[in-house]
Amino acid sequence: MPYKEKEIEKIYYSISEVADMFKVNASLIRYWENQFDILKPYKNKKGNRLFTKKDIDNLHLIYHLVKERGMTLAGARKKLKENREDLDRNFEIVQKLKEIKSILSEVRDSL
pLDDT at residue 110 in the model: 86
pLDDT at residue 5 in the model: 64
CATH number for the domain spanning 70: value is: 1.10.1660.10
In a domain, 95, yes or no: no
pLDDT at residue 4 in the model: 63
In a domain, 97, yes or no: no
- Domains in the chain, number: 1
In a domain, 65, yes or no: yes
In a domain, 88, yes or no: no
In a domain, 36, yes or no: yes
Sheet holding 13-14, edge to edge: 13-14, 49-51, 42-43
In a domain, 37, yes or no: yes
Query: How much is the pTM?
Result: 0.72
**What is the tens place of the pLDDT at every residue in 59-98?**
988 998 899 889 899 998 888 888 777 777 777 887 888 8
In a domain, 110, yes or no: no
User: Could you tell me the residue range of the domain that residue 41 belongs to?
Assistant: 13-82
pLDDT at residue 35 in the model: 92
In a domain, 111, yes or no: no
Q: Kindly report the average pLDDT of the chain as a whole number.
A: 86
